Structure 1
Amino acid sequence: MSADDRIRVQDPLRASLIPRPTTLPGEVAERLRQAILQGDIVDQNQKLPSEASLATSYGVSRPVIREAIFMLKSDGLIISQQGRGQFVNPHGSSVFRLDTGMDDGDNLAELFEFLLSVEVSATRLAAQRRTADELRQIRDSYARLYDATRELADGTAEDEQFHQSIVRASHNQHFIAFAEFLDARVRRLIRTARKNTRNRSMDLVWQVQAEHKAILDAIEAGDPELAARAATTHLHNAAARLASYRE
């Protein structure tokens, strides 16, 4: 790789050569985030260097720096002070981030540990608290998922609806709100596993379906511990399937 294909980052901005990514502002934003969190680049007043200084240090244009800073403003990590420049938010970022991808095995494992803590608890509560109407909704969503599996359809939307109906039956507004956040960022990994499973083996597809059925059966029985175990098994297996596709 030639020098033109790299960004040169100078001390104290994490001196290293960074391969030029597809989204350059996003890579610069992440490097800035790490430098800010480590306290490498701000002065005693938590002020960032100027756009021109950052552009020179990172070897990129000022528009790239401007877009990277805009990304960090959107996260609440950076705030502007009229006529004074850009400063680190003293309260820290106001946005919770989950950006793990399939290419990072360690982070992926930690992500599933985190997902287990949310989904298993919600499933346990759903077995305890679900109403007759909510149980019917869970059954209906499972039936749609079963039909999609039988018809070799994509099934990702039905999979998502099944899990959402369970979380809603937990009657915990925090679980419900956070599940919506997870659906947009984390469940895409599980949906990737579903697609890859379908492409590899229909036997595996029906194994996944059996895992869903075990969760449904436990919720129907009103057995919170059985429901929690079924949800744990499903997520452990989903993590294992994702890991196998990375090999």
Structure 2
Amino acid sequence: MKNVSSSTIARGHSLSDEVAMRIRTSIESGSIEPGKRLPTEQELGEAYGVSRPVIREAVSILKSDGLVISQQGRGHFVNPQGASVFRLEPSFEDKEDLADLFHFLISVEVAATEQAAIRRTPSDLNAIRQHLGGLEVAIRENRNGVEEDMKFHRAILHATHNAYFISFGEFLESRVRNLIRTARENTARSQDMVQRVQNEHEAIFKAIAAQDGENARAAAAYHLDNAAQRLRIYLRHPE
């Protein structure tokens, strides 16, 4: 097809996200013009070397972004008005993009952790403590603790009692879930590293427990800076 790239996609964590990014690039470059109909699922599947369910999920992502709209009986079309929502598609291959993403994440998470320390209630603190304990259990059972890690940070977001931090944090989590999973799985390769990460979590918890916003901010920044470094090491030396 002349309006989309015909290069197949290497298998990775999320084919649908990658396909959505490729289609979006074709739209933004003008290869598929606003108001024009998208190629069929079969055509897109052949172009990218993926199944039709993957194409359907990718198109669903573009529809949720408002970049693609459906017309019953006619198919999917590029929205003439463009995307209507904020987008975030990190690339593991683009190191500069990855660095920019982490700087962005740090700015959000650090501010949220500071506000959580100031605003948290006793029940909020209990929830954070519970998920910190869940991480300890995951470490003892030699599991990667990805879900427990996300629950810990999610509980901190809820402790801000700020709807914007909570909803945007959920958006970030859904968009960078693979990034979080890769960083955590990389950490799980070394018991020493696992314990260092858990020590960072404990420092965050202690600052929130003490309602010390300044130390909570510093502990979150230290943890996320280290997380970025751990991911960079993995990406340079994958096994």
- Cα pair 2:32 2:38 within 8 Å, conserved: no
SS of equivalent residue, structure 1 residue 47? coil
**Superposed counterparts of 1:36-185, under 5 Å:** 36-42=27-33, 46-48=34-36, 51=39, 67=55, 70-71=59-60, 72-80=62-70, 87-185=77-175
Q: Structure 1 residues 131 and 101, CA, compared in 2 at 3 Å: closer, same or farther? A: same
Q: Partner letter of residue 192 of structure 2?
A: D
* 1:127 Cα offset (Å): 0.6
Q: Partner letter of residue 192 of structure 1?
A: T
* 1:21 Cα offset (Å): 2.2
Q: Partner letter of residue 234 of structure 2?
A: Y
- Cα pair 1:190 1:238 within 8 Å, conserved: no
SS of equivalent residue, structure 2 residue 226? helix
CA-to-aligned-CA distance 1:29-79 (integer Å, 9 cap, x gap): 54442243244553xxx4326859xx6xx9799x98xx5894544532133
- Work out which of the two has the higher radius of gyration on C-alpha atoms and give 1 or 2: 1
CA-to-aligned-CA distance 1:178-232 (integer Å, 9 cap, x gap): 2222222314322322222222x21111110111011011111211111111111
Which of 5, 18, 33 pairs up with 2:24?
A: 33
TM-score scaled by length of structure 2: 0.77
Q: Partner letter of residue 131 of structure 2?
A: S
Q: Partner letter of residue 171 of structure 2?
A: F
Gaps of 5+ in 1: 1-8
- Cα pair 2:21 2:89 within 8 Å, conserved: no
Pair 1:228-2:217 in alignment: yes
Which of 197, 202, 208 pairs up with 1:208?
A: 197
SS of equivalent residue, structure 1 residue 205? helix
Corresponding residue pairs, total: 225
SS of equivalent residue, structure 2 residue 188? helix
Report the more deviating stretch, 118-127 or 141-150: 141-150
Report the more deviating stretch, 172-181 or 29-38: 29-38
- Cα pair 1:102 1:242 within 8 Å, conserved: no
Q: Which runs of 4+ in 1 moved over 6 A?
A: 23-28, 58-61, 82-86
- Cα pair 1:76 1:92 within 8 Å, conserved: yes
TM-score scaled by length of structure 1: 0.75
Determine the structure 2 residue equivalent to 1:191.
181
For residues 169 and 239 of structure 1, the distance between their equivalents in structure 2, rounded to whole angstroms, comes to 24
For residues 19 and 136 of structure 2, the distance between their equivalents in structure 1, rounded to whole angstroms, comes to 44
- CA RMSD between the two structures: 3.4
Q: Structure 1 residues 75 and 159, CA, compared in 2 at 3 Å: closer, same or farther? A: same
Q: Structure 1 residues 234 and 39, CA, compared in 2 at 3 Å: closer, same or farther? A: same
SS of equivalent residue, structure 2 residue 234? helix
For residues 38 and 244 of structure 1, the distance between their equivalents in structure 2, rounded to whole angstroms, comes to 33
SS of equivalent residue, structure 1 residue 19? coil
**Superposed counterparts of 1:9-20, under 5 Å:** 10=2, 13=3, 18-20=6-8
Report the more deviating stretch, 77-86 or 31-40: 77-86
* 1:234 Cα offset (Å): 0.6
- Cα pair 2:9 2:48 within 8 Å, conserved: no
For residues 143 and 202 of structure 1, the distance between their equivalents in structure 2, rounded to whole angstroms, comes to 17
Determine the structure 2 residue equivalent to 1:21.
9
* 1:18 Cα offset (Å): 4.9
Q: Partner letter of residue 19 of structure 1?
A: S
Q: Partner letter of residue 229 of structure 1?
A: A
